[in-house]
Structure 1
């Protein structure tokens, strides 16, 4: 991948990440409170739905930029022809690598954001300081494994489906999809992936919100899933699935549409002004 492609992926990914995180933040707050162990009402209900937004705003640009730089680089590095039957594998590997890298930035931001969402009376910086004081750096990375274990299956569904839908649409109309068409494909792919991976998202939320020193806080995903199943059954494992699907479908529309549009504009500008 050349310097122009690298810069385009970085800027486009960052712009897309900030756009979707800030626009859909209220839906994310509602989803987090539905999944919270104390229940929706005690976690804040519909009050203070922008609690934790500074953490999301700070983390979204570098997080999304890191994902797309890695995603585009791995696609370029693998050199698999677009006509090959291995194309879905290429997209799966690229998306998985992107998630592992992006989660290094995403998880600390997510930990602070989710604690602010269920404790709207506390300021974001205060929550950040308390985590560092009480738990150290490892407290900011609590839930890293569960987040990666959620994001990789999510991306294994979303990105090959997104790329395949774009390829099919391009073939049907005999030209490359427009940005709005890419956005529609992203919305559908995101909704499907969101529904399938909701139990993993519930486990991740429980681990991040658990009290320090508790068994759930240790980060064991299977243990967290078993605990939810034992106390709430299947309904607990799919808590927040509707707002999650709504947020991620809308997010997929904005995120992947904005990414395609911003990247194509950056590449066009770069070629015209070398």
Structure 2
């Protein structure tokens, strides 16, 4: 998957860094999320959990799996976006990833920087989204009219996504601060997920 990502990024240099990496990352994390959700749902079907709770737990598992897959790509994407040089002077995506690994390795200071925040962001979002969507969807009757049925699913999905996004925003902000450039060069201000949340709350509210 990483090799495929780097290859696609290399051959799409006509796009800006922001568009390039967002497209690749979106394609990278959409597939494992839905695939793993179905797998976790099947496994949890053999447990004593209620169907509603099992859907939320399956969503949590899918989100955590998704986070592990996409976090290295997010680190590379954010570091490229933070590069203030002209686009022609920026390193390629492959070289940027290699520089990160050479400087800080694959660990929590390198290619997996901000992993805890990413786990929280994706885990919380998918737990709420899948749990709310599938539980609420069964409450409202199914419409025979295709347009009304589409609107029913769209409305439930919209509410599910809105609630999930509101809850996971603190994790998203923490992730951006940890993976992005620090306020003072050479000094690490944002170190971990909950330390960053607490610091932002004290300083910014």
Instruction: Tell me the residue number matched to 1:101.
Output: 65
Return the alpha-carbon distance in structure 2 between the equivalents of residues 131 and 52 of structure 1.
18
Give, in angstroms, the shift of residue 142 of structure 1.
0.6
Matched-pair contact (CA < 8 Å) for 1:112–1:127? yes
Of 97-106 and 129-138, more deviation after overlay is shown by 129-138
Q: Deviations over 1:132-184 (max 9, x none)?
A: 23222221111111111222222222111111232223x25379984564333
Instruction: Tell me the residue number matched to 2:202.
Output: 230
Give, in angstroms, the shift of residue 188 of structure 1.
1.7
Return the alpha-carbon distance in structure 2 between the equivalents of residues 144 and 54 of structure 1.
22
1:131–1:152 Cα change, 3 Å: same
Instruction: Tell me the residue number matched to 2:77.
Output: 113
Give, in angstroms, the shift of residue 194 of structure 1.
0.9
Matched-pair contact (CA < 8 Å) for 2:62–2:126? no
Alignment of 1:195-274 (within 5 A): 195-211=166-182, 214-217=188-191, 220-233=192-205
Q: How high is the TM-score relative to the length of structure 2?
A: 0.73
1:229–1:111 Cα change, 3 Å: same
1:78 to 24, 44, 49: 44
Return the alpha-carbon distance in structure 2 between the equivalents of residues 179 and 75 of structure 1.
24
What 5-or-longer segments of structure 1 have no aligned partner? 1-48, 234-274
SS of the aligned residue for 2:198 comes to helix
Aligned length: 180
Alignment of 1:23-38 (within 5 A): none
Matched-pair contact (CA < 8 Å) for 1:80–1:87? no
Matched-pair contact (CA < 8 Å) for 1:50–1:117? no
1:213–1:105 Cα change, 3 Å: farther
Q: Deviations over 1:175-229 (max 9, x none)?
A: 9984564333222211111112211211111111145772524xx2121012212
Q: How high is the TM-score relative to the length of structure 1?
A: 0.56
SS of the aligned residue for 2:139 comes to helix
1:129–1:53 Cα change, 3 Å: farther
SS of the aligned residue for 1:216 comes to coil
